[in-house]
Amino acid sequence: MKVVIQRVSEAKVSVNSKVLGQIDQGFCLLVAFADEDDDETIEYMARKIANMRVFSDSDDKMNLSIKDIDGEILSISQFTLYADTKKGNRPSFTGAGDFKTSSAKYDQFNEALRNYNINVATGEFGADMQVSLINDGPVTIIMER
């Protein structure tokens, strides 16, 4: 499982010019799964993200979690995080998980985040989406397990 975490002041995702998900302050997550990702991996990643302290406290130190600031998450499926660019100029995506099982894992991951009382908005799994956001910081963290 790979997740790119972007701290944002706002973000939204659209499909065919229709906004499907929109948040204010929080995280925009780009999420990809491999076939070997299991329940433990999904729970671990959700817990780490929910408790990650990258929001500023009153002393302007990154010391608060998304839960501490009542932030929101925009979760976007993105299998291209598994791009292998070692050979040639066209990336290979064979490391990305199977479409059907990855879709179920994506739903499970978003539900695991919601279990931390975080509002989670999403796009549409497998769709051609347009994502817009305002990076805050910028703070971008890549997690892989």
Annotated catalytic sites, by residue?
78-80
Alpha helices for 31-130 (secondary structure H): 39-51, 99-114
Cβ atoms of 51 and 95 within 8 Å: the answer is no
**Which SS3 state, helix, strand or coil, does residue 106 take?**
helix
| Alpha helices, H only, 1-145 | 39-51, 99-114
Residue 118 corresponds to which tokens in the numbers above? 């975080």
**CA–centroid distance for 23 within its chain:** 13
